[in-house]
Amino acid sequence: MIRPVRRLKPLVILVAFALLALGVSACATIKPESLRMTQPAGIGPVHVHFALCTEYEEKCEPNEDEGESQYMLIFAIPEGSEAPQTVRAEPVDGAAPIAFQRNEEVVRATTELAAEFDGVFPPEGFEAVGYMSGIYIEEKGAIREWTVDFDLSLPKPADGSPYGGPFSGSFISGWRKVDGTHPADRPVDCYEPTGPNEATAVCAGSTGGELGVSDLRIAAPLAAQAFVGGSATFAFPFDFAGTAGSLPTFNLSAGSTLAGVGLQLSSPTFVPGAPDATTHRSPTASPTVTVAVPGTAAPGTYDVTITAKTATGGSVSQTAKLTVTQPRIKLGKVKLNRAKGTATLSVGVPSAGTLTVAGKGVVKAKKAAKEAKTLKVLVKAKGKAKAKLEELGKSKVKAKISFKPSSGIAVKKTKSITLKQS
């Protein structure tokens, strides 16, 4: 919800000067009580709504001006917030719409006027955004009203942390006459007095407010690897901050560019912990996504994405990188033991898992690994191969080597070894 209006001091000085010194109102001035600031999606952009109307004095009065005019809007918003390039005022009745374009001259003019009265614009921690309209035809005696709606992004702190607010903003309207001696391309000025209570340019209407907001940032976890048929688990750091009256609940989902993958979330929802009263940040949480790689997967690098979504449509996503590989084993040297008629085979394995050597005429042997390393496994004859070895002093066997990673499909190789005994 919007908090009670808190006008920024330099803007109050500016507006008080304009109203007191000139005592005039311009067409299309802001109705202060019309301001509404909301965060419709629960997270993400702040939506700003206010109304403009003719000759505002507690209510919209008949316009006293006629001829051609241009209108200005000036916003003071938190540093790092992004404002739109264009703003449009939509008519409530029979007025024509008013289109505003970003204009840095409007910011300069407002800053200079504030400085004349020892004010600072924009205030510390804020940045200014200015807009100028095209030429608008005034209708003397008409009572007109417009609504203005636009979004302002939440600031993005340099350290990547979430923005918990509160989000403050001040909004000023301005007007200037356009005629043969006051062209539309003249330098912008927020104060062009022509006499007591008369002016050809003025920045007059102002309003401001403060809104409690919520923000969620999800950091990318480190890239991970998995074997074909294996699995990997990603922990996504969730960083939440907020000053809104209630905490949003996020529904979690996961996806991947790897076809046929199995995805399991540690929880289907995320509810932030209570924010710290000073930092407005909740304790960091790390929901996980466990990825089951299908046995038919092609080696490559794939995206694994987690998405957190509010009930009102706010959405935050983050992507991790998963590299899928085939497990590989490297067969090394064979060392014969002639006294025993056996051999020792060196096998390099890529990860934790179990190495098995078997085959026709070979005694089955197993070795376990807790990490990638070189294992040495005994090759020993049996049956007819053993009898031949004892009779002839040598026997050729075909060893079948299989390595089953702790996560992934088995990889197999075959090696012919001639055992010798003397």
Q: Residue 33: how many CB atoms within 10 A of its CB? A: 11
Structure pTM?
Answer: 0.84
* Token pair recorded at residue 139: 């209708």
b/e burial code for range 311-330 (CB count within 10 A of at least 16 → b): eeebbbebbbebebbebebe
Does residue 27 contact residue 96 with C-beta atoms inside 8 Å?
Answer: no
- Inform me whether the pLDDT recorded for 412 exceeds 60: yes
pLDDT band at 214 (very low <50, low <70, confident <90, very high): very high
Domain residue ranges of the chain, discontinuous segments joined by +: 2-211, 214-325, 330-420
Question: Do the domains at 2-211 and 330-420 have one common CATH topology?
Answer: yes
- Is pLDDT above 70 for 12? no
Sign (positive/negative) of CA torsion 14, 153, 126, 104? negative
d(CA 369, CA 349): 8
Q: Which helix (H) or strand (E) holds 46?
A: strand 46-53
**Contacts for 212 with CB less than 8 Å, ≥ 6 apart:** 1, 3, 165, 166, 167, 242, 243, 244, 245
Q: Give the pLDDT confidence score for residue 194 in this predicted structure.
A: 82
| Lowest model confidence (mean pLDDT) among 13-27, 283-297, 358-372, 390-404 | 13-27
Q: Which of 5-19, 270-284, 288-302 shows the lowest per-residue confidence on average (mean pLDDT)? A: 5-19
197 compared with 319, residue with greater pLDDT: 319
Residues 65-75: b if buried by 16+ CB within 10 A, e if exposed: beeebbbbbbb
Specify the CATH number of the domain 330-420.
2.60.40
CA distances from 331 to 191, 376, 394, 412 (A): 86, 10, 22, 11
Among candidates 291, 294, 270, 293, which has minimal Cα distance to 282?
A: 270
> How many CA atoms within 13 Å lie on the side-chain side of 366?
4
The pLDDT confidence band at residue 341, using thresholds 50, 70 and 90, is very high
Report cis status (omega within 30 of 0) of the bond before 45: no
> Tens digits of per-residue pLDDT, 366-406?
999 999 999 999 999 999 999 999 999 999 999 999 999 99
Q: What is the mean pLDDT of residues 244-268?
A: 97
Mean pLDDT of the chain: 91
Encode pLDDT of 127-156 as tens digits. 999 999 999 998 888 888 999 999 999 999
Number of H helices, E strands in the chain: 3, 29
- Confidence class of residue 6 from pLDDT cuts 50, 70 and 90? very low
Separation of alpha carbons 2 and 32, rounded Å: 14
314: which 2 tokens? 């706010």
Which fold, 2-211? Immunoglobulin-like (2.60.40)
How many CB atoms lie under 10 A from the CB of residue 11?
A: 25
CATH of 214-325, one of 3.90.1300.10, 1.10.10.10, 1.10.3720.10, 2.60.40.10: 2.60.40.10
75 φ, ψ to 5°?
-115, 140
Do 316 and 218 form a contact (C-beta atoms < 8 A)?
yes
Cite the beta strand spans of 352-392 per DSSP E.
353-358, 365-369, 373-379
Q: Which residues of 386-405 are buried (b: 16+ CB within 10 A; e: fewer)?
A: bebbeeeeebebebbbbbbb
